[in-house]
Amino acid sequence: MNYHSIAIAISIAVALASADAGAKDKSKSRPIPATTSPAAAEQKDAATAEFEKFREVMEDANPAELFEAKGEELWKEKRGPKQVALAETCDLGLGIGVVKGAYVQMPRYFADAGKVMDVERRLVWCMVEKQGFSAAEIAAHPFASETATPDQTSLVTYVAGLSRNMKISVPTDDPKVKEVYRLGKEVFAFRAGPYDFACATCHGETGLRIRMQQLPNLARKEEAIRSYQGWPGYRMTGGIMLTQQWRMNDCFRQQRFPEPKYVSDTVTALLTYLTANANGNMYKGPGIKR
Amino acid sequence: MDLIRRTLLRGAGAGGALVAALAAGVLKPTAVFAADWNHGAFEAKETAATLKALGAGTAADSKDLVLNAPDIAENGAVVPVDITSKIPNTVSISVLVDKNPFPLSASFDFAEGALPDVSVRLKLSQTSNVKAVAKTADGKFYTVQKEVKVTVGGCGG
Amino acid sequence: MNHFKNIATLAFACTAMILAAAPRAEGDDRSRAIAMVRNDFQAKGQAGLDRLETDALQHVCNKYSNQPPQPLATLIAADQLATVKYPADGKLMGDWKEGEKIAQSGRGFTWTDKPGLPVGGNCYNCHEISPKELSFGTLGPTLRNIGKLRGNGPEMQKYVFSKIHNAKSYNVCSAMPRFGHIGALNEQQIRHLVALLLDPESPVNK
Amino acid sequence: MADPMKIRAQMKGDICDIKILMSHPMETGQRKDSNGAVVPAHFIQTISIDLNGKRVIQGQTGTSVSRNPVFGFKVKGAKVGDKITVGWVDNKGDKRTDEATVQ
């Protein structure tokens, strides 16, 4: 940089410093979507209503229950190199072996691990630390495919099922959780990659859609529940059981980011932010997804 | 005629060896049901051929056969379909998806006590008519159909 | 490109000075979060870790929560517009039918996509375009009748071409990707999309 | 061995409402895996429902029944405490039988 441009930089910086304070109050510069043609809007609403009507029918008998049953078996069985049961060794935050209500009170801080952990991360931690499974082997096949469902997916589904109809209450009074929440908020807003996308690009405003799919504004309490409700979810496409860890992973894929490492700090931070935003809402249990 | 006997007779149509095996006590009844799977109907590639294989070539439209399915399916992989027959003496209900590679999805026989009412979830490869066919004890067939649209997914991928 | 680098450096310089002058509490969380992200990701398929390195524009949008101060925004927008390469033959309109196909596809650039071109324009994910496609998103404004409403003369063609090539030329922190700038869509594909939007024969304007 | 079914049999008035969830891939034989190889057809072909040991419903299914099938039936003449037995057999000869008590 030559002398001349430094001089310009300084003068601009001075101008910016005064402009900076006012910048935050300005409404977003993105143009407001014009109203869509009435015929198209009507069609959309009919479709959405139809989806919702039949979603109820399908939730009445959800194949997710099959995975809850499998997860219960895995929780109670003595397994792994150390041949111990998670039910006898694993603390999900409410005491060893206590499952009821644990799901809606996570992510939370675990002193034994020195980390804030979401449910899946905690279960994997227990499988590794208590049962002696290999973390690398678990991370090699983290999510369900059309040929196999990882044990931790069924375990998450079981644990989630035992928080059905309970209120989401991430312990945000805990300073450790608060700190991770703030980091998650920043991860949510971070734009990068070839398309300049952040989570917030699609999930930071209310009332928008990608194709026919309604996008929740996950920064708003009323809508944040939608990142939580229905997970873990039985996904109709492929007929497989998927967790929130998977959801975050696949969002980053569509964001054109590289892949978040399985059960990493970043994913926990994001889940802490999203779940705490949904605090106070009622969780309905494992769901069904498109 | 009870279900087991009907099954046996149809099994005999598919191959007398089966009946012989059963008579000899080699096979348990459950194994007979598996062998009883109606190859002709399930492997037919067009609705007309399927109906023929079911013996339902001349099925008449009926308002007493109620088929409940979405106008637009959220996902073609799982389309909930519910069929109720108000036709007296309904003994079986079959469900077909016209545009699937093999139209016949499922077929149910009801014995004394069971209501002719079934719900099932189907795969639709594309927008298609879904058809229900009911059979009565006197061998008559009735049908009803409904179009189910299959939509495009999100994110184009 | 030299020009771009200068401005980018300038932007960084400004940013640094403002930070020094008025440190904000969230700035610390932001840099910690970004450091955490860079530590927690792994390359997969075509999606390398280099994708987490922000360029000058991304850096500014992140820094200012997508609302950079006006003088800086104006500077960067002009800089982005300068990166737009128009076709040498001056022909900006292609075949709207091809444009429709490109608009429909949302493929490309994820770790499960095959590397290389062509990738989709993702247009219907966010915009209403042809009245025949009812499955459209609303993240962006409707483009229905855009040619009819705003004309299809050379200036409009140039505007649409540049907007698709580099959306940040007009709105620095726009949610829309810089399709031409990053090499997602080539010249010919952008021409087809211009035709989809502006050609009087395109269903968009019917 | 195949995973257990989930069976729910509930009296609603004088009708017993039966919901059955089965764990099965229901492969069509038309799908290709990630390597482009065709995944062989693997699907349930017959199902049976018995009330207190007496067959009340028998079904046949093809490849277009969804993965992890869900069925709903209605039976008259059942009462709380009765036994519902459900069985399935697939095209490879795998089978599974599970029971539930009417609630």
Compare CB distances from C138 to A1, A19, A33 and report the shortest one's residue: A33
Q: Which of A45, A54, A210 is the best mutation test for B, with the most CBs of B within 10 A?
A: A54
What residue type is C184 in one-letter code? A
pLDDT, residue B78, reads: 93
The secondary structure of C87-108 as a DSSP string is -TT------HHHHHHHHH----
Strand (E) or helix (H) holding B135: strand B128-136
pLDDT, residue A58, reads: 86
Nearest to residue A45, comparing CAs of A246, A207, A189?
Answer: A207
Q: Which of residues 2-41 of C touch A (CB under 8 A)?
A: 6, 9-10, 13-14, 17-18, 21-22, 26, 29-30, 32-34, 36-37, 39-41
Q: Is the pLDDT of residue A2 over 60?
A: no
The structure tokens listed for B61 are 């439209």
pLDDT, residue D30, reads: 86
Strand intervals (E) in chain D: 6-12, 15-21, 44-51, 54-61, 70-76, 83-90, 95-101
pLDDT top residue among A121 and A32: A121
pLDDT top residue among B69 and A41: B69
The residue in chain C having the minimum alpha-carbon distance to the alpha carbon of residue A30 is C174
β-bridge pairing A282-283 and B60-61? unpaired
The structure tokens listed for B70 are 């979405």
Q: How many Cβ atoms sit within 10 Å of the Cβ of residue B31?
A: 17
pLDDT, residue A44, reads: 56
β-bridge pairing B72-73 and B141-150? parallel
- In angstroms, the CA C196 to CA D45 distance is 49
Residue C110 is classified by DSSP as S
Q: Is residue A282 within 8 Å of A183, Cβ to Cβ?
A: no
Q: Please give the ipTM for the structure prediction.
A: 0.81
Contact D66 A239 (CB under 8 A): yes
pLDDT digits (tens, 9 = 90+) for B95-146: 999 999 999 999 999 998 999 999 999 999 889 999 999 999 999 999 999 9
pLDDT, residue D1, reads: 64
What residues in B contact C106, CB-CB < 8 Å? 155-157
What residue type is A35 in one-letter code? T
| Order of strands, sheet of B114-122, starting from the edge strand that comes earlier in the sequence | B65-68, B79-85, B114-122, D70-76, D15-21, D6-12
Main-chain phi, psi angles of B123, to 5 degrees: -95, 135
Q: How confident is the model at residue A249 (pLDDT cuts 50, 70, 90)?
A: very high
pLDDT, residue B24, reads: 44
- In angstroms, the CA D31 to CA A164 distance is 35
pLDDT digits (tens, 9 = 90+) for A73-94: 999 999 999 999 999 999 999 9
**What value does the mean pLDDT of chain B take?**
80
Nearest to residue C195, comparing CAs of C160, C163, C144, C155?
Answer: C160
Q: Which of residues 92-151 of C touch B (CB under 8 A)?
A: 104-107, 110, 112-113, 120, 122, 124-125, 135
The residue in chain A having the minimum alpha-carbon distance to the alpha carbon of residue B154 is A211
- In angstroms, the CA A130 to CA B63 distance is 62
Compare CB distances from D70 to A63, A69, A147 and report the shortest one's residue: A63
Compare CB distances from A66 to D25, D66, D68 and report the shortest one's residue: D68
Radius of gyration of chain B (CA): 17
What residues in B contact C110, CB-CB < 8 Å? 157
pLDDT tens per residue across all 103 residues of chain D: 689 999 999 999 999 999 999 999 999 998 888 788 999 999 999 999 999 999 999 999 999 999 999 999 999 999 999 999 999 999 999 999 999 999 9
Contact A63 D72 (CB under 8 A): no
What residues in C contact A193, CB-CB < 8 Å? 47, 51-52, 109
The structure tokens listed for B51 are 């109906």
CA distance B12 to chain A (A): 36
- In angstroms, the CA A16 to CA A10 distance is 10
Q: What count of CB pairs under 8 Å joins A to C?
A: 208
pLDDT, residue A132, reads: 98
Q: What three-state secondary structure class fits B84?
A: strand
Q: Is the pLDDT of residue A156 over 60?
A: yes
Compare CB distances from A17 to C21, C36, C184 and report the shortest one's residue: C21
- In angstroms, the CA C75 to CA C68 distance is 11
Residue A105 is classified by DSSP as G
What residues in D contact B132, CB-CB < 8 Å? none
The structure tokens listed for C32 are 């910690």
Contacts made by residues C118-122, CB under 8 angstroms, sequence distance 24+: C118/C185, C118/C186, C118/C189, C119/C184, C119/C185, C120/B156, C121/C164, C121/C179, C121/C185, C121/C189, C121/C193, C122/B156, C122/C177
Residue D42 is classified by DSSP as B
pLDDT, residue C33, reads: 96
pLDDT digits (tens, 9 = 90+) for A264-282: 999 999 999 999 999 999 9
The secondary structure of C19-50 as a DSSP string is HHHS--HHHHHHHHHHHHHHHHEE-BTTB-GG
Main-chain phi, psi angles of A101, to 5 degrees: 85, -5
The structure tokens listed for D8 are 């729910």
- In angstroms, the CA A163 to CA A99 distance is 8
- In angstroms, the CA A170 to CA A177 distance is 8
Q: Is residue C104 within 8 Å of C137, Cβ to Cβ?
A: no
Query: Lowest mean pLDDT: which of B31-35, B65-69, C170-174?
Result: B31-35
**What value does the mean pLDDT of chain A take?**
87
Check residue C90 and give left, alpha or beta (phi > 0: left; psi -120 to 50: alpha).
left
- In angstroms, the CA B114 to CA D49 distance is 10
Compare CB distances from C71 to A19, A44, A208 and report the shortest one's residue: A19
A251 an active-site residue? Answer: yes
β-bridge pairing B60-61 and B141-150? parallel
Nearest to residue A105, comparing CAs of A58, A67, A158, A160?
Answer: A160
- In angstroms, the CA A277 to CA B65 distance is 48
pLDDT, residue A59, reads: 86
Strand (E) or helix (H) holding B122: strand B114-122
Residue A22 is classified by DSSP as H
- In angstroms, the CA A240 to CA B112 distance is 37
- Specify the pTM: 0.84
- In angstroms, the CA C89 to CA A68 distance is 63
CA of residue B48 relative to chain centroid, distance: 14
pLDDT, residue B4, reads: 44
- In angstroms, the CA A83 to CA B54 distance is 54
pLDDT beneath 70: ranges in chain C: 1-27
Which residue reads 């799908």 in tokens? D31
Percent of chain A with pLDDT strictly greater than 90? 74
Q: Is the dihedral of CA A239, A241, A247, A252 positive or negative?
A: negative
pLDDT, residue A23, reads: 38
